[in-house]
Amino acid sequence: MYRSLNPTTGELIEEFALHTDAHVESSLEAAAAEFQVWRRARLGDRTEVLERAARELDAARDALAELMAEEMGKPVVQGLAEVDKCVWVCRYYAENAEAFLAPRAAESDGAEAWVRYDPLGTILAIMPWNFPLWQVFRAAAPALAAGNTVVLKHAPNTPRCALRIAELFEAAGTPQSVFTNLFLDNNQAAAAIGHSTVRGVTLTGSSRAGSEVARRAGAALKPIVLELGGSDPFIVFDDADIPAAVEAGVASRLLNNGQSCIAAKRFLVQAAVADEFTERFATRMVAQSVGDPRLDTTQVGPLARADLRSTLAAQVDASVAAGTEVVVEGGSGDGPGFFYKPTVLRGAPADSPAGAEELFGPVAVIELLGSDEEAVEQANRTRYGLGASMWTADRARVDELIPRIDAGSVFVNGMVKSDPRLPFGGVKDSGFGRELARDGVLEFVNTKTVWMR
């Protein structure tokens, strides 16, 4: 069962039954059959669909932001920004797919040789609730531009977002079965991964889910892209612009109510500026407006589900019991909804939840940092490797440390974010493969060598 539950009030909005196995089978077969048509469509026709999807998104901007606020608690101002980013990624691939997919001449012992990029087939996209539009469009836009068809398995708590995405593609003139939404449980999703019509899988989710998808896709010898969790370090050196670092750090930690894989989660601050940073940071965290995500003034809304709040609260309680200092005590709010107020911890033991696990909510952990060598050691002291943010005025330090940080991206004097123009992904338990930019469109193509005498 897919359940749309308002996290601000805890009230049920609507329920949706799972699709039957027979419906899933016929949908997968239809997507595979349509692939044979879609792959032969002119590239310009495929990218025109993306351009029209961008226009549909833009026209529905306010309603989509309201939908996300109601279904998973995203503050409406951030929801508007998410829709704008979906418009951007559609137009980015509409404008750049031809160059990305153009055949490339190669040297060989033949009279001619070149490399071409052909679509694979149906791509199964298993997508999360936290960015319910962006995660789907950043996966679907390059796949569709390349000539693949896409089947979406969205999160069970954002069914209305999933249905609305399918409606947007339909309104954009996407041929039937080029983009298909299915309501699947985990067993049905596992069967879909192994289905003969599915030629690739992309997942954004937890490391546990990624491991299971990787196991099943590997057994079926299918390519996958995994964008998983993160425990991103936010490194503040003694020569940093502290006010700027504080503003970016608070924005990063509280993005999407703290429920973002690439949010800054561990703040590693050199001793000389630690007191100033902590005081400023704590003040800004306390000042954030917590409330109804539909209000323009709200900066932090509720967590998306009750179990997410319970898990976060248990992690914080266990960390405090292990000796972690509480700088700002937020915690669960009173009244209805799944609210958790911004919280700041300091000095978490390495084996405590705050020191070893991903805290998926508005909780920041500050750690004291010594030398540059220690910065690298602490930044890498995690099983994750998604992003890292480094704050310093020393370019030599940047050039020395960046190659040694185990992360898919490093942002200097800025918060980690995804950008259609830049490859996005992680290492270690944060997954593998890349989304966005040219790298993203080439994940699900057949890189085909052609040789002629």
Catalytic residue numbers, as ranges: 227, 261
Cβ contact 314:340 at 8 Å: no
Cβ contact 107:339 at 8 Å: no
Cβ contact 154:166 at 8 Å: no
Cβ contact 64:81 at 8 Å: no
Kindly tell me the sign of the dihedral angle through the C-alpha atoms of 324, 317, 344, 397.
Answer: positive
- Tell me the residue type at 284: R
Please tell me whether residue 273 adopts helix, strand or coil conformation: helix
Distances (CA, A) of 443 to 47, 116, 220, 404, 439: 18, 14, 17, 26, 7
- Tell me the residue type at 274: A
Cβ contact 142:78 at 8 Å: no
- Give 42: exposed, middle or buried? Use CB within 10 Å, 0-12, 13-18, 19+: exposed
Q: Comparing C-alpha atoms, which of 129, 79, 133 is closest to residue 296?
A: 79
CA 447 to CA 391: how far, in whole Å?
39
CA 151 to CA 65: how far, in whole Å?
23
Q: Which residues contact 281 (CB under 8 A, 6 or more apart)?
A: 246, 249, 250, 267, 344, 364, 366
Task: State how far Cα 55 lies from the chain centre.
Answer: 23
Cβ contact 35:148 at 8 Å: yes
CA 130 to CA 61: how far, in whole Å?
18
CA 295 to CA 301: how far, in whole Å?
10
Cβ contact 359:365 at 8 Å: yes
Q: Comparing C-alpha atoms, which of 277, 354, 273 is closest to residue 313?
A: 354
CA 124 to CA 192: how far, in whole Å?
8
Give CA angle at 253 (252, 259), nearest 5°.
105
